[in-house]
Structure 1
Amino acid sequence: MDQNFDYINENYITEDELCTVADISKDDLAALIQNQLVPQPSYTISRSIRIISPLNDEFENEITEKYFSKSCISLVKKNKELSNIHLYKEEFKENFIQNLINHPDKAFAYDSIFNTSFPEQEQLDEIFESEWAAYCNGIYGICTLHSTEEEIVKKEIAVKKLIHFNTNFSDKKLTTDESEELIRLSEEFNEVAQKFAPYQRKSSSRGKYLDKILEENNLDYLVKKY
């Protein structure tokens, strides 16, 4: 069995499974997605099948299966009866902005907009809309463990802190203190970040900013395995 399929099958839930567990039809699920009450599937797997028989006939078809973050189970149950389709986005935005404003390391986030002064509401709105689009597209089902507002903020900051660390130390042998700091950053990242499917691992934030520098400094045991 392909390692990518094993990873997705283990960590995500199919459309059929989601509908069964959340007690919803595929049409109603599609409506929730359309109304941005549930994110798009994070992965779509297509497989071609070919059937042949001794009768010298054959049949070919392509099977496509959508895979959602398991966090969508509770989300579907919560939002399938929501009468005000705008309420969920409003709550999500408020939680997102509060988590961002209250994070002690917010100065690392979003091009350091908190570095000099408190950002204008327009800037916060722009940041949120960008992250909301990514969330609705299923991206945070790939990048974070539970796709929550808090995790989106924490992952943004964890990644930016790793980028800052790599910028300063990726071309030198780390001291003991620097290695300990990298270990702390690794723990912070792993609190919220998925492992990513094997085929996308190297190009992901985990692969570029964490795996590589861990391996370069004999900290391979901290690299998340499948």
Structure 2
Amino acid sequence: MEDNFNYINENYITEDHLCNITGITKDELVVLIQNHLVPEASYIISRNIKITSPLNDEFQSEITEKYFSKSCISLIQKNKNLNDPQKYKAEFKEKFLQNLMAHSDKSFAYNDIFKNDFSNQEKLNEIFESEWTAYCNGIYGICTLHSTEEDIIKKEIAVKKLIQFNEIFSQKTLAASEIKELTKLNEEFNEVAERFAPYQRKASSRGKYLDCILEKNNLEHLVKKY
């Protein structure tokens, strides 16, 4: 429990601190979130408090604290005076698609979207809406370092490349050339991906597709540490 709390406390920012830094109220933050100008909190920590005294009485309460990605600081500063939420979404979509189309390994992204060497606009729109929902829900505050359009694309591609690598090599001991390839994939993933809280890590993309194969091949020194 302490490891999880320490990780979140060190890498994320509380609602109170976020509001103090950006000069907004909690109510104003709620409105920004409702308008999809800022993502939801990535973590919520609840603690039960029990107070007793020699008077044989007690008081119990639950304290709940929201933790946001630190990228929300600059995002609030950018969007707190924006009156058109759709403008921000449109800009986000444009950058998202630009990063996807410009990536040299885009063929790995989103399954068969580029199977026929041309983009299916309807499918691209579906993919974006799914990723936009995940972003607004605070998921990319957990999964990526900066929650940017570029990070989302790079992580998608890095994960898909790791999945393919695991499908081919997870049941064998790696040769030198394959270790070199895995090392490169590790660097690409770490460039954009968070470590995940300890309780999440084993089930995360990092735990399933990177940590396991590194450890299996005695490459523990490459496993991203806390």
TM-score range, shorter chain: over 0.9
Cα RMSD after superposing both structures? 0.7
| 3-state SS, counterpart of residue 189 of structure 1 | helix
| 3-state SS, counterpart of residue 115 of structure 2 | coil
TM-score, length-normalised on structure 2? Answer: 0.99
**What is the alpha-carbon distance in structure 2 between the residues aligned to residue 215 and residue 123 of structure 1?**
37
1:199 matched residue in structure 2: 199
Kept in 1, the 8 Å contact 2:113–2:120? The answer is no
Instruction: Give, in angstroms, the shift of residue 119 of structure 1.
Output: 1.9
**What is the alpha-carbon distance in structure 2 between the residues aligned to residue 112 and residue 169 of structure 1?**
22
Of residues 157-166 and 118-127 in structure 1, the stretch that sits farther from structure 2 once superposed is 118-127
**What is the alpha-carbon distance in structure 2 between the residues aligned to residue 157 and residue 120 of structure 1?**
18
Identity, % of aligned pairs? 70
TM-score, length-normalised on structure 1? Answer: 0.99
Q: Structure 2: which amino acid aligns with 1:57?
A: D
| 3-state SS, counterpart of residue 193 of structure 2 | coil
Kept in 1, the 8 Å contact 2:113–2:124? The answer is no
Q: Deviations over 1:49-76 (max 9, x none)?
A: 0000111111000000000000000001
1:33 lines up with 2:33 in the alignment: yes
2:156 matched residue in structure 1: 156
1:131 matched residue in structure 2: 131
**What is the alpha-carbon distance in structure 2 between the residues aligned to residue 57 and residue 78 of structure 1?**
49
Q: Structure 1: which amino acid aligns with 2:45?
A: I
| 3-state SS, counterpart of residue 164 of structure 2 | helix
For structure 2, which runs of at least 5 residues remain unmatched after alignment?
none
For structure 1, which runs of at least 5 residues remain unmatched after alignment?
none
What are the residue-to-residue correspondences of 1:70-81 with 2, within 5 Å? 70-81=70-81
| 3-state SS, counterpart of residue 30 of structure 1 | helix
Instruction: Give, in angstroms, the shift of residue 224 of structure 1.
Output: 0.9
Question: Structure 1 residue runs of 4+, over 3 Å off?
Answer: none
| 3-state SS, counterpart of residue 225 of structure 1 | coil
Instruction: Give, in angstroms, the shift of residue 114 of structure 1.
Output: 1.0
Q: Structure 2: which amino acid aligns with 1:167?
A: E
Instruction: Give, in angstroms, the shift of residue 22 of structure 1.
Output: 0.6
2:97 matched residue in structure 1: 97
